[in-house]
Amino acid sequence: MRPFEYVRTHDMAAAVALVSADPQAEYLAGGTTELDLVLKDGVLEPGRLIDITRLPLRGITCAEDTLRVGALVTMNELAADPTVSERVPFVREALLAGASPQLRNMATIGGNLLQRTRCRYFRDATVPACNKRAPGSGCAAVRGPARMHAILGASEHCIALHASDLCVALVALDTVVEIQGVDASRSVPLTQFYVLPGDRPDIENVLQHGELITRIRIPLLPVGMRSGYLKVRDRASYEFALTSAAAALLIEDDTIVRARLALGGVGTVPWRALEAEEILHGAPATRRTFRAAAEAALRDPFTVAGTAFKIELAQRTIVRILQEASGVQS
């Protein structure tokens, strides 16, 4: 483990300038990913960590049907927000389905978006083949035992999973990410924030080095639109998803007027299921419709022996959450 310099600042512009000017510098917020990979796994070796937890990036405000959430708001703080419970309840469900109470007190919303994969091969620096860690070195997961891995957006270059629960609900909601750079700020929809691995799995999102997530904007659901988050896992609690689904449905006269659907546990990025949404829109709210949507969502998987089971499991997860959100069982 390489020594690093620890820098604490209360000034956002100073923090952004420091990291932008130093390729060896990284931001430190909740630390639940960063310190794990730096101190314990030795996978990341920053020369300098800029502690941003004292920056004024806290607070949750609501205006014009949009929730604005500071990047340093913790998972537990967001889960406790009354507007979240009232208007986007599946965000709360996804938050409380993730990690443990201790980790949810530490982990920030900005950090949740940027959490690194739990792929064992990525997190084991003694494994030589990892295109995400060492571009061009190959993918040990494709050949070795793999189970907690992605089947959508994956390829022989990389099957590392984006393991966030929260981001599944956020991507379903068309959440927007606000980003601060040295010279300018910009906003990027979460659906365009992540980059599919392709042949460069080391590039995970559109952030340039030094750019800082400052806030996210969550559009609230229309009143009457019912939502839910379902997480299927090996243990009842404190475990990553095998498959998960976030769904929101607005149904009038047994017809689906509006649908939002996203998947977790299966994608190299939080996976918005647009093909499935197209099938749901305007269709009768029946189990047959839900099954057709589920099949559309999993039409183009890339599986290895250990992950093939996820196709059917993900489809059943989708049907189940659509049944729960709609109240339609048959």
Partner 1 sequence: MQNTVSAEAYVDVRLHVNGTVQALHVDSRVTLLDALRDELALTGTKKGCDQGACGACTVLADGKRVLSCLTLAAQCEGREVTTIEGLAADGRLHPVQDAFIRHDGFQCGYCTPGQIMSAVALLQEGRAGSDEEIREFMSGNLCRCGAYPNIVAAIREVAGRGSE
Look at the alpha carbons of 77, 82, 84, 85 in this order and tell me if their dihedral is positive or negative: positive
What span, in angstroms and rounded, lies between the C-alpha atoms of 83 and 67? Answer: 8
- Is there binding between residue 89 and partner 1 (CB under 8 A)? no
Binding to partner 1 in span 48-77, by CB under 8 A: 49, 51, 53, 76
Of residues 66, 102, 192, 255, which one binds partner 1 by CB under 8 A?
102
219 binds partner 1 (CB under 8 A): no
Q: Is 108 in the site for partner 1 (CB under 8 A)?
A: no
- CB 11 → partner 1: shortest distance, Å? 16
Q: Considering only 24-32, 62-70, 176-184, 226-234, which stretch makes contact with partner 1 by CB under 8 A? A: 24-32
Q: Kindly report the number of other CB atoms within 10 A of residue 208's CB atom.
A: 10
The amino acid occupying position 154 is A
Please tell me what DSSP assigns to residue 37. Answer: I
> In whole angstroms, what is the distance from residue 92 CA to residue 216 CA?
15
End-to-end CA distance of the chain: 56
Q: Does 232 engage in binding with partner 1 (CB under 8 A)?
A: no
**Beta-strand relationship, 25-28 and 48-51:** parallel
- 130 phi/psi in degrees, rounded to 5: -155, 105
From 66, 100, 137, 208, residue interacting with partner 1 (rule: CB under 8 A): 100
- The nearest distance, CB 106 to partner 1, in angstroms, is 5
C-alpha triplet 137, 143, 148: angle, nearest 5°: 100
Position 82, amino acid: P
Q: What is the rounded CA–CA span in Å between residue 220 and residue 216?
A: 12
Using CB under 8 A, which of 20, 31, 233, 258 touches partner 1? 31
Q: Which of 10, 40, 209, 299 binds partner 1 (CB under 8 A)?
A: 40
1 binds partner 1 (CB under 8 A): yes
Size of the site for partner 1 (CB under 8 A): 28
Distance between CA 210 and CA 94 in Å, rounded? 29
- Beta bridge partners, 51, equal 8, 28
Does residue 87 contact residue 108 with C-beta atoms inside 8 Å? no
Residues linked to residue 108 through DSSP beta bridges, in sequence order: 74
Smallest gap from residue 41 Cβ to partner 1 (A): 8
Position 3 contacts partner 1 (CB under 8 A): yes
Q: Which of 9, 105, 286, 303 binds partner 1 (CB under 8 A)?
A: 105
User: 283 to 322, contacts with partner 1 by CB under 8 A?
Assistant: none
Return the range that interacts with partner 1 (CB under 8 A); candidates 47-55, 62-70, 124-132, 198-206. 47-55
Q: Which is nearer to partner 1, 82 or 330 (CB)?
A: 82
Backbone angles phi, psi at 251, to 5 degrees: -120, 130
Nearer to partner 1, 48 or 226 (CB): 48
Which of 64, 82, 126, 237 forms a contact with partner 1 (CB under 8 A)?
237
**Site of interaction with partner 1 (CB under 8 A):** 1-6, 8, 28, 31-32, 35-36, 39-40, 49, 51, 53, 76, 99-103, 105-106, 236-238
